Structure 1
């Protein structure tokens, strides 16, 4: 009798275990698979996404999110073509794509203000835009670079044609300025922080300090029009989780930094942690909520691009971005 009771209990226990596993598998199967493609290798601009994945915020929204690297195609192209559901991009890239009828849309500002600018080692003596004359600039070959430099140099009656432009390719800033470059365009939150850790003093000129029109959103989260039209609930769910991930990063930069390092262990720990601390208050900054975008920011930068012959036609700014999917 005892033997039969034992067998019955064993069968019931095994069924319960299998039922639990089946339920877990079924829950996993019910998650909607989506992808988000980064603009570059993982860094602190992306931490909120890794937090949302690690903390289960995406799963809570019914999503199984795959964070992928862009490869040669680039994030904007992958998102616009629908080969990735979401991406990390830049206002300037979205603007240029939109005027060429590429259906990409910005759905959230990752950082509220432009933290990029022209940087040089203090030993180069470049303290103002006029000092660019006669110097070598290391860039990536975009017309935007020369136009931005020209616009701020004109404020000091300086001539951008007296700057020697060199394509840096994949060379990092620190190698380039020791070799054949005097200054370059960097994001302070990463390269500037790395300079601090190296004990290398920089002169930094933030582009937003020279014109309100250059205080644009960089980076941003993107999707395409088809996704918005056909599956707005998934876009809303993705942004709810991403927003929660970035808010956690704002409130807990140290733990968030550890999560990024777990996901990308090849990153320099000291750089990640210091960068995370520096960026934490800048994700949301003076906005009412993380991710918020203003029409005037899109209009200002688009008009600047058009005036500098960087666009073939004027941008329909209202179609280039939306706050619709941000949590209320």
Structure 2
């Protein structure tokens, strides 16, 4: 009987050791579900869990976080990171508000719409310093400037992605109902290729690359850049529930430190960063992930930008985004509030000092 008890005890001990070993291998993971995030409280010698909710599927748009995870930067800061992929049915603002995730990635205009509904959400870092939104047409369509959009079919994805386009039309006194036809756009760019739209919306780092990969050449295309037209709105940012941030200030600062370090590396070597993202989820080609990484780097650290300031919040750009949103989103619950309760640099300043 004693021998049986001893054998049973040894078996339990070995099973516990195996489970601990498995846990150590998953200290930095990309989560495949959106279950409620676990308690981030830290015990001696343990990593603190942080769950990051992305806006979209794993791609180089988010390369800084994947690089930071792959290189162990989160672990160095005492963090066990989980990166939750997004998708068309996942809303980062709701997941952060409902504690499914601790930190989220979204566009500023989208964040503002939820803040206007009373969600206690707060931006803590602005990762993209420029807009990636373009309006692209084939040269044969004769759209050499925005005023040439008159009488044309113009595509956009809508769902909150249309505000820069509406600002552009307003700048050139084009009525979206009378002077042209706005068309629901899919994500393939086939409508532009086939000619069912004359101009299509495209992100520099994704859809524009799809056109080039599909055989079109830059010299065959006319491009309207929202930045050059001064109608740009801020896109990818990091945000939190303000109550969670106040309770976990040190943890948030350490997360930002690791993330900024990952973004610096990604911007410096986007080819390697694209490969890192490709290895996470081989949903698109390696070439496309690398192309995307190189273009995203230009938005995170534009030419002449000091990379020590990656993630800084330009309040003038934020206010412009709020002004456009207020003007063109007729369903907005109330005017966007742009102050230190909704957009704060204090955590970023602590992380970068």
- What TM-score, normalized by structure 1, do the two folds share? 0.83
Contact persistence 2:128–2:300 (CA under 8 A): yes
1:77 aligned to 94, 105, 108, which one?
94
1:210 aligned to 229, 248, 272, which one?
229
**1:199-221 per-position Cα deviation (integer Å, ceiling 9, x unaligned):** 3133211122222xx33321112
* Aligned equivalent of 1:102: 119
- Return the structure number with greater helix share: 1
Query: For the residues of structure 1 that align with 2:343 and 2:334, how far apart are their CA atoms?
Result: 18
* Aligned equivalent of 1:322: 344
| C-alpha RMSD of the superposition | 2.8
1:138 aligned to 132, 143, 155, which one?
155
1:301 aligned to 303, 321, 330, which one?
321
Query: For the residues of structure 2 that align with 1:239 and 1:283, how far apart are their CA atoms?
Result: 15
Contact persistence 1:105–1:321 (CA under 8 A): yes
Query: For the residues of structure 2 that align with 1:273 and 1:144, how far apart are their CA atoms?
Result: 24
**1:113-160 per-position Cα deviation (integer Å, ceiling 9, x unaligned):** 112121223333222222222222222334662x54343234434332
Query: For the residues of structure 2 that align with 1:26 and 1:203, how far apart are their CA atoms?
Result: 49
Write the mapping of 1:174-185 to structure 2, written as runs, cut at 5 A.
174-175=190-191, 177-178=193-194, 180-185=196-201
Instruction: Compute the displacement of 1:27 (Å).
Output: 11
In the superposition, relative to structure 1, how do residues 103 and 126 fare at CA in structure 2: closer, same or farther (>3 Å)?
same
Moved more, 95-104 or 235-244: 95-104
In the superposition, relative to structure 1, how do residues 306 and 154 fare at CA in structure 2: closer, same or farther (>3 Å)?
closer
**1:152-208 per-position Cα deviation (integer Å, ceiling 9, x unaligned):** 23443433223222223x541235542632222221122223323333133211122
1:292 aligned to 308, 312, 335, which one?
312
Query: For the residues of structure 2 that align with 1:208 and 1:293, how far apart are their CA atoms?
Result: 17
Query: For the residues of structure 1 that align with 2:333 and 2:173, how far apart are their CA atoms?
Result: 27
Contact persistence 2:134–2:201 (CA under 8 A): yes
Q: Secondary structure at the match of 1:229?
A: helix
2:207 aligned to 191, 216, 225, which one?
191
2:290 aligned to 263, 273, 286, which one?
273
Contact persistence 1:306–1:312 (CA under 8 A): no
* Aligned equivalent of 2:270: 253
* Aligned equivalent of 2:299: 282
* Aligned equivalent of 2:36: none
Structure 2: which 5+ residue stretches go unaligned? 1-16, 28-44
Write the mapping of 1:52-131 to structure 2, written as runs, cut at 5 A.
52-71=68-87, 72-131=89-148
In the superposition, relative to structure 1, how do residues 149 and 25 fare at CA in structure 2: closer, same or farther (>3 Å)?
closer
Structure 1: which 5+ residue stretches go unaligned? 1-17
Instruction: Compute the displacement of 1:55 (Å).
Output: 0.5
In the superposition, relative to structure 1, how do residues 187 and 158 fare at CA in structure 2: closer, same or farther (>3 Å)?
same
Contact persistence 1:189–1:279 (CA under 8 A): yes
Contact persistence 2:137–2:192 (CA under 8 A): no
Q: Secondary structure at the match of 1:222?
A: strand
- What TM-score, normalized by structure 2, do the two folds share? 0.78
**1:208-259 per-position Cα deviation (integer Å, ceiling 9, x unaligned):** 2222xx3332111222112212211221111111101000111122221211
Contact persistence 2:77–2:255 (CA under 8 A): yes
- Figure out how many residues of one structure are paired with residues of the other and give that number: 306
Contact persistence 2:189–2:211 (CA under 8 A): no
